[in-house]
Amino acid sequence: MKIICIGRNYANHAKELGNTIPTEPLFFLKPETAIQPKGHAFFIPDFSNEIHYEVELVIKIDKIGKNIEELFAHKYYSQIGLGIDFTARDIQEECKAKGLPWEKAKGFDGAAQISRSFINKSELDLNDISFLLEKNGEQVQIGNSKDMLFSFDKIISYISKFYTLKIGDLFFTGTPAGVGKVEKGDILKGFIGEKEMFKVVVK
């Protein structure tokens, strides 16, 4: 099972970090061991002083495919969830400054929070999915799929040029503006529309 993450898929987030806006999907991988066990607290790792939250819509692949045409990409997924791409921002910036890969800033144990359940896409307008993240009861990130630079279908088609997609693969589809640092004691809640998708306690 692969966890494929799309970077800079919301222009406002790219701008807040001072990054250029991509002309094609930018992606990286997290290992399966990055998945945070459901119901468990998130423990800030001792190797970073700046762990950031990044809330993202997550799609789950339910059909094997390779070199998928964008026109048919919708046939390869049926469920939409929500997740947090936890990021060791200090380590990421250090690696970027040295021109090094930064998987260790994104792929550490527990770095992929995934919602308890998924929503069938037939219940949603894929071009207008509102989602948000609350930290300690305050809205810190608000996003909508209509603001994505690359749609779900475009992402699937593009990635399938390089990787065979398998049943159970997960796509983190990018985060909107508002990312920030977590502290011990924080409570993070993620919502699609008004439906609570996850609750995470930071320790």
User: pLDDT class for 14, splitting at 50, 70, 90?
Assistant: low
**What is the model's pLDDT at position 12?**
77
For 152, the enclosing helix (H) or strand (E) is helix 152-159
Q: Residue 13 pLDDT > 90, yes or no?
A: no
**What is the model's pLDDT at position 18?**
73
**What is the model's pLDDT at position 122?**
97
β-strands 187-192, 87-88: how paired? unpaired
3-201 folds as Fumarylacetoacetate hydrolase; domain 2 (3.90.850)
Separation of CA 60 from chain center: 12
Q: How many residues does the chain have?
A: 203
Burial of 130 (0-12, 13-18, 19+ CB in 10 A): middle
Question: Is-contact 194 119, C-beta < 8 A?
Answer: no
Phi and psi at residue 96, to the nearest 5°? -60, -40
CB half-sphere exposure, 146, CA atoms < 13 A: 6
